[in-house]
């Protein structure tokens, strides 16, 4: 096992199929001439040689500057903050990375109470300046843990919750990125509008 330059996990050995049955073209797309199978997974190796899968290659964002960014890795870091229920990182072919943030509807009322805020609805709560400041701090904390190109430059807190009953999540709680990009296209475009615009 080894990692390609872009972080894709490559494997070869007796446990790897020699290719697709009677499909040499597809085999050539997946297995290089030296026998390395391109898994489609993006991974990292720690100092002890342990592999961590962080994303699927097809999910990678490629910024306007040509840099690869793993949205799932950033989303996982953002969701470590208890107030963040969901996060969708955007930035494919854009000048920088940005994020759509969805608050955790179960945590929000308790957080409000502990911070002296009245909680009436998630939509109203999402517009509170102190909530915005808290999420900004969470984003700043994540930005300290990632490379310059991966840093979330701007974000928007969405007023609604993403649930299994909605359109944004699969039954296994994965993001339906295409649906989210379409549904929140205006919000995403505003993240890339000139400041104050």
The confidence score (pLDDT) of residue 109 equals 96
- Furthest-apart CA pair in the chain: how many Å? 67
Q: What residue segments make up the domains of the chain, in order of their start?
A: 2-58, 60-191
pLDDT along the chain (197 residues), means of 10: 87 89 87 88 88 77 83 93 96 94 96 94 95 98 94 96 88 87 94 77
Whether the Cβ atoms of residue 33 and residue 27 lie closer than 8 Å to each other:
no
The confidence score (pLDDT) of residue 137 equals 98
- For residues 77 and 86, what is the distance between their CA atoms, to the nearest angstrom? 11
Separation in Å, CA 158 to CA 13, 113, 170, 182: 47, 21, 19, 15
Mean pLDDT rounded to a whole number for the chain: 90
B/e letters for 39-50, b = 16+ CB within 10 Å, e = fewer, are bebbbeeeeeee
- For residues 149 and 97, what is the distance between their CA atoms, to the nearest angstrom? 8
**DSSP codes, 114-157:** HTT---S-HHHHHT-HHHHHHHHHHHHHHHTTS-GGG-EEEEEE
pTM: 0.74
Please state which of the four CATH numbers 3.30.300.30, 1.10.3720.10, 3.30.1360.120, 3.40.50.2000 is assigned to the domain occupying 60-191.
3.30.300.30
The confidence score (pLDDT) of residue 99 equals 97
Whether the Cβ atoms of residue 125 and residue 112 lie closer than 8 Å to each other:
yes
Radius of gyration in angstroms for the set of CA atoms belonging to the chain, rounded to a whole number:
20
The confidence score (pLDDT) of residue 196 equals 53
- For residues 109 and 105, what is the distance between their CA atoms, to the nearest angstrom? 7
Fold of the CATH domain 2-58:
Luciferase; domain 3 (2.30.38)
The confidence score (pLDDT) of residue 4 equals 87
């Amino acid at each position: 096992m080894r990692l390609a330059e872009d972080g894709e996990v490559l494997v070869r050995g007796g446990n790897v199929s020699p290719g697709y049955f009677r499909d040499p073209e597809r085999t050539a797309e997946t297995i290089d001439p030296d026998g390395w199978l391109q898994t489609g997974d993006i991974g990292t190796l720690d100092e002890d040689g342990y592999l961590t899968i962080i994303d699927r290659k097809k999910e990678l964002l490629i910024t306007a500057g040509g840099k690869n960014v793993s949205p799932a890795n950033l989303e996982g870091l953002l969701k470590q903050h208890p107030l963040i229920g969901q996060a969708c990182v955007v930035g494919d072919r854009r000048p920088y990375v940005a994020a759509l943030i969805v608050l955790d509807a179960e945590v929000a009322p308790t957080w409000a109470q502990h911070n002296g805020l009245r909680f009436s609805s998630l939509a109203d709560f999402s517009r509170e300046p102190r909530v915005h400041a808290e999420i900004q701090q969470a984003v700043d904390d994540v930005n300290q843990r990632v490379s310059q190109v991966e840093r979330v430059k701007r974000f928007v807190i969405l007023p609604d919750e993403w649930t299994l009953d909605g359109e944004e999540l699969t039954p296994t709680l994965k993001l339906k990125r295409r649906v989210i990009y379409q549904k929140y296209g205006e919000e995403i475009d505003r993240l890339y509008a000139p400041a104050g615009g």
